[in-house]
Amino acid sequence: MFNQLADRFDTIFRNLRGLGKITDSNIQQTSREIRRVLLEADVNFKVTKAFVKRVKDRAEGTKVLKSVKPGEQFIKIIHDELVKLLGEKAKPLELGSKKPAVILIAGLQGSGKTTTCGKLAALLKKQGKSVLLTAADVYRPAAIAQLQQVGETVDVPVYEQGAGDPVVICQSAVEEAGASNTDVVILDTAGRLHVDGEMMSEVQEIAVAVNPHEILFVVDGMTGQDAVNSAEAFSAALKLTGIILTKLDGDARGGAAVSISEAIGVPIKFIGVSEKPDGLEVFDPKRIVDRILGFGDVVSLVEKAQEGVSEDEAAKLEKKLKDATFDLEDFSDQLKQLQNMGPLNQIMGMMPGVNQKMMKVLDLDDRQLVWTKAIISSMTPVERRDPTIINGSRRMRIAQGSGRTVQEVNQLLKQFAQMKKMMKKMGKMKLPKNLKHEMIGLN
């Protein structure tokens, strides 16, 4: 996600960091580079122009400050302005207090509406809310069956009347939800082209009839500039309360994400990052910008780590680290947890200071984890507790047992020894507890 933007900003920042002072000429040059990077990533040209001007004005205004390193100061300006551009803070769903809350999902054909309905339903269910999905796409032949399938996957009921009048269907669904004391109704409408006047007035009619708390515009993040154009058209027809950008797991250049809020004045509330029911992330501008600018996304990382490790385990591990009794058994457990957090590339991509180029060099291979685990499980419990006893013949046996080479066994033992040494050092360091936890991925 946003790889191209991240790559380019990485280069700009490297140049900026080397600056002894900020001069008119390097402001000019950096502005030009930022403009090019944004346009290449398909950011809307008006948005780009306004953005570059804001950065330039601020950089010129801070020229006289002599405090921090000038380059860093410039980088902070770019960071802050990008966060502002993306809408500052995460904007949660506003569902009011009256039941049922109604969420209307609208957008172009194939943008990901039905999939997103399922993801939203799963998310709301996780928050303890009851949800009713509604099949208001009566045009595409398989649309109702698709929503039913989605409903089944996330275990949420689907309201449908077959092919009827979408306005009536939505009204009845809301009534039904009221009668069954359901918290939220999600209306999955048909995909429509904004040039299709009849279809646009139909969705307007639905909105008038059921007065939704949220009207969410679902848009394919891969479509770049076009995303802004269709957002403008939908926003002219409907009182949109939020945007959901889908398919950002692909190689979307990120242009839509960066331009769309500013273009129509509506916040991005979620992003779709996979086809699966849990592939929906709250859109948090600061975290996204940190990712784009290679500051790493420590918060996401920490959250992921938290999901994978219980507090008890964390405390136990910390004690082992302190006492330097951490052995290969624990190492294997750690690897398992790392795997639970997701693909290695994704995890590393969130680490501060890891940029795209490093990622390419690292060329992380998830299979390596599996191999490492295979090697460790070919050891005897005694060997795992005290790897120093692993001599040549034991190495050979372990290699054979795991189907890996002796070199790989050697490498693993060497890495483990280094890691242990580093941990001993860390154990002695007087760091705040939180930071230490963060360094070992346990916060």
Ligand X SMILES: Nc1nc2c(ncn2[C@@H]2O[C@H](COP(=O)(O)OP(=O)(O)OP(=O)(O)O)[C@@H](O)[C@H]2O)c(=O)[nH]1
Stretch that binds Mg ion, among 56-64, 108-116, 214-222, 388-396 (CB under 5 A): 108-116
* Beta bridge partner(s), residue 272: 280
What's the CA gap between 371 and 409, in Å, rounded?
10
Residues 140-169 as x/- pattern, contact with ligand X by CB under 6 A: x--x--------------------------
Dihedral angle at the C-alpha atoms of 180, 134, 155, 303, nearest 10 degrees? Answer: -110
Which residue pairs from 393-396 have beta carbons closer than 8 angstroms and sit at least 24 positions apart in sequence?
none
The Cα 73–Cα 30 span in angstroms is: 13
When the beta carbons of 206 and 305 are compared against ligand X, the nearer one is: 206
DSSP letter string, 348-375: HHTSTT--HHHHHHH---HHHHHHHHHH
Secondary structure letter of residue 120 according to DSSP = H
**239 three-class SS:** coil
Q: How many residues bind ligand X (CB under 6 A)?
A: 21
Positions of E strands within 141-180? 158-159
- Identity of the residue, 59 or 103, whose beta carbon is nearer to ligand X in the bound complex: 103
Of 112-120, 172-180, 330-338, 350-358: span binding Mg ion (CB under 5 A): 112-120
In the region spanning residues 57 to 86, those forming contacts with ligand X, defined by CB under 6 A, are: none
- The SS3 call for residue 277 is coil
Among 235, 246, 378, 402, binds ligand X (CB under 6 A): 246
Residue 249 binding: pick among ligand X, Mg ion, none (C-beta 5-8 Å cut-off by kind)? ligand X
By CB under 6 A, name the one of 247, 291, 404, 420 that touches ligand X: 247
H/E run at residue 105: strand 101-107
In terms of phi and psi (left: phi > 0; alpha: psi -120 to 50; beta: otherwise), the region of 429 is beta
From the list ligand X, Mg ion, none, partner contacted by residue 110 (C-beta under 5 to 8 A by kind): ligand X
Please give the residue whose beta carbon sits closest to ligand X in the complex: 191
Choose which of 112, 151, 277, 294 interacts with ligand X (CB under 6 A).
Answer: 112
> What's the closest the beta carbon of residue 158 comes to Mg ion, in angstroms?
12
**Angle made by CA atoms 312, 316, 321, in degrees to the nearest 5:** 145
Determine, following the binding rule CB under 6 A, whether residue 251 of this chain makes contact with ligand X.
no
Which is closer to ligand X, CB of 114 or CB of 235?
114
Closest CA to 370 of 407, 336, 328: 336
Q: Determine phi and psi for 20, rounding to 5 degrees.
A: -80, -35
The enclosing H or E element of 270 equals strand 268-272
Q: Which amino acid is at 411?
A: Q
Per CB under 6 A, 274 contacts ligand X = yes
Among 114, 372, 402, 443, binds ligand X (CB under 6 A): 114
Indicate which single residue of 4, 26, 114, 261 sits in contact with Mg ion (rule: CB under 5 A): 114
Q: Per-residue x/- marks for ligand X, 281-300, CB under 6 A?
A: --------------------
Which of helix, strand or coil describes residue 279? coil
What minimum distance in Å lies between the beta carbon of 320 and ligand X?
40
- State the minimum distance, in angstroms, from the CB of residue 34 to ligand X: 28
Q: Which stretch binds ligand X (CB under 6 A): 91-99, 113-121, 312-320, 328-336?
A: 113-121
Residue 239 C-beta: closest distance to Mg ion, Å = 22
Q: Does 329 bind ligand X (CB under 6 A)?
A: no
Q: Considering the complex, state which of residue 221 and residue 296 has its C-beta at the smaller distance from ligand X.
A: 221
Minimal distance, residue 252 CB to ligand X, in Å: 10
Reported in sequence order, the residue ranges of 146-240 that DSSP labels E, i.e. its strands, are 158-159, 184-189, 214-220
Residue 167 CA to residue 174 CA, distance in Å, equals 11
**Site residues for ligand X per CB under 6 A:** 107, 109-115, 137, 140, 143, 191, 246-247, 249-250, 272-275, 279
